[in-house]
Structure 1
Amino acid sequence: MIPEEVRQFIIDKIDSIAELEGLLLLRNQAEIEWDSATLAQRLYTNTQQTEEVLAHLHAQGFLAVKENNSTSYFYQPNSPELAEMVNRVAEIYAKYLIPVTNLIHNKPQTRVQKFADAFKFRKKEDN
Structure 2
Amino acid sequence: MADDLIPEEVRQFIIDKIDSVAELEGLLLLRNQAEIEWDSATLAQRLYINPQQTQEILAHLHAQGFLAVKENNLISYIYQPNSPELAEMVNRVAEIYAKYLIPVTNLIHNKPQIKVQKFADAFKFIRREDK
User: Which stretches of structure 1, 4 residues or more, deviate above 4 A after TM superposition?
Assistant: none
After TM superposition, the score normalised by the length of structure 1 is: 0.85
Per-residue deviation, 1:108: 1.6
From 17, 22, 27, the equivalent of 2:21 is: 17
Larger Rg: 2
Matches for 1:83-98 after TM superposition, within 5 Å: 83-98=87-102
Per-residue deviation, 1:41: 0.1
Structure 2 residues without counterparts, runs of 5 or longer: 114-131
2:35 alignment partner in structure 1: 31
In 2, Cα distance between the equivalents of 1:68 and 1:76?
17
1:5 maps to 2:9: yes
Identity of aligned residues (%): 92
After TM superposition, the score normalised by the length of structure 2 is: 0.82
Matches for 1:1-127 after TM superposition, within 5 Å: 1-108=5-112
In 2, Cα distance between the equivalents of 1:36 and 1:101?
23
Structure 1 residues without counterparts, runs of 5 or longer: 110-127
Count how many residue pairs are aligned between Structure 1 and Structure 2: 109
